Amino acid sequence: MQDSIDAYLQFIAVEKGSSLNTLEAYGRDLLRYAQFLSRSGVKDAKTARPEHATAFLWELRAEGLSANSINRCLAAVRGFYKYLVREGRIGESPVAEVGLSKTWTKLPGALSRAEMDRLLAAPRADGTIGARDKAMLELLYATGIRVSELIALTLNDVNWHVGYLTAMGKGRKERIVPIGRAAIRSLKNYVEGARLQLEKKQSPFLFLNRAGEGLTRQGFWKIVKRHARTAGLESKVHPHTFRHSFATHLLEGGADLRSVQIMLGHADISTTQIYTHVTRSRLKEIHKKYHPRG
């Protein structure tokens, strides 16, 4: 079964352009599924039945996994079987009729504008590392791009004259996102000074670490936590804080949902709609605080 899983992961990497994060997550989920089948006496995925898949999902639930995590596992298993059907290895998928676990909308955590100002002011822009960190944080908040997209940016991805960047999103889909004046200033300050000092050898990446190489997600997260601690916001900052704050503040300012969807790179507008719940909550707070009958 491991050979089939490896072949499937190779397929979605090449044919669908799945990200490394997706490949790792699906690989873990399918390994867990294979181990479950083995414990259940099923030696080959081809002989699994719908009841095996259902029992697998119930086991995940018993382990305390969230509905979203369970659904991701099911998506991995479904995709795996679709691949086996496509390749003619099995006649039909045993999980085709297995339903999704019920999910509850979880509101994304976003900083207030004042809190975001504190976080953006945390790096000292007069030093090499501070200038780099300032540029990264400003760019994340200005564009709403994912951390994985940020660390993959190259110098050629930034259009300095027009003021936008080209981000490579999920499924290797490109999108153009405006940068804004504040982020452009910080970015130019970094590229024209600090980046030249960090670059030990020629590198295409926009943001470099002390060794002159591209940053990792783990390395970037350590940087964010350090500045969040300085700003007194450590408990409120997580990897998606900038992305969520970007979308929330745009919608609060009157931006239309479709434009925000395009900038975030969401394939489905229903994914973007979660932010409307956040802005509604904010409107209720304002009404309660300022209306005479609030």
What are phi and psi for residue 10, nearest 5 degrees? -65, -40
Tokens coding 226: 């350090």
Nearest to 243 by CA among 260, 223, 267, 221: 260
Contact 132, 195 (CB under 8 A): yes
Angstrom distances, CA of residue 184 to CA of 69, 152, 157: 37, 18, 13
Tokens coding 264: 């975030």
Question: Hey, which residues are catalytic here?
Answer: 146, 170, 240, 243, 266, 275
- What gap in Å lies between CA 193 and CA 213, rounded to an integer? 16
- What gap in Å lies between CA 276 and CA 216, rounded to an integer? 32
- What gap in Å lies between CA 136 and CA 190, rounded to an integer? 9
Helices (H), the chain: 2-14, 20-39, 50-62, 67-86, 113-120, 128-143, 147-152, 181-189, 195-198, 217-230, 241-252, 257-264, 269-272, 274-290
Contact 155, 206 (CB under 8 A): yes
